Amino acid sequence: MRVFVLATVLLAMALPAAAQQDDKKLPPGYILFPNAQGKNVPIKHALNYAQCLHNGKVLGYSASDTTAYCDAHYPH
């Protein structure tokens, strides 16, 4: 279950910010994401591997889960 949630959250980081930005109160380039505790928080859309790693850490996901996802979706 945890891997499914992580994959869902991190996959959304790869989607264009414009498609996810329904809340007009968010600054440009930010989207709402559920953190590891399930609370929706605003976070900047990841455009590369380093930003993906940063977002995973900020959202509270483990380094191994975040790295596995970012390796698969942001080749470096």
Express each pLDDT in 9-32 by its tens digit. 555 665 544 444 455 689 999 989
Task: Give the predicted TM-score (pTM) of the model.
Answer: 0.63
Cα separation, 61 vs 66, in Å, equals: 6
67 Ramachandran zone, left/alpha/beta (phi>0; psi -120 to 50): alpha
Tokens found for residue 54: 């940063």
pLDDT of 6 reads: 59
CA distances from 35 to 10, 48, 57 (A): 10, 19, 10
pLDDT of 20 reads: 46
Whether residue 61 has pLDDT greater than 60? yes
Tokens found for residue 75: 């080749």
Neighbour-count burial of 75, counting CB atoms closer than 10 A to its CB (0-12 exposed, 13-18 middle, 19+ buried): exposed
pLDDT of 56 reads: 95
